[in-house]
Amino acid sequence: MREKGTHTWDLVIQYHRCPECDYVFDNRQQYRYQLGHYIKDVECPRCHHEFRLEKNRKPVVGPFFGNGAPPEMDWGE
């Protein structure tokens, strides 16, 4: 969920439910990429239970023939 406003960068607020006490809380921490998965370690502010959230990365396939598409801009020029 993205917050509206005039910010230098987008504020990302996500809501999670604690598996122990079922408390719903917001979290602004980003997922980090580790071993093919996006992982976030979260702690419940009410019961202080630590748990890990994990998202699978979508597999990337290709290009099958030749080289990939050229870069849109060459920064070396």
How many CB atoms are closer than 10 A to CB 44? 19
Distance of CA 1 to the CA centre of its chain: 12
pLDDT at 18 over 80: yes
Domain coordinates in residue numbering, the chain: 14-56
Q: How far apart are CA 8 and CA 22, in angstroms?
A: 34
Q: How far apart are CA 33 and CA 62, in angstroms?
A: 21
| Percent of the chain whose pLDDT exceeds 90 | 36
Exposure on the CB side of residue 53, measured as CA atoms within 13 A: 17
Residue type at 36 in one-letter notation: G
Q: What's the pLDDT score for residue 1?
A: 56
pLDDT at 76 over 90: no
pLDDT at 5 over 70: no
pLDDT interval class at 43 (50, 70, 90): very high
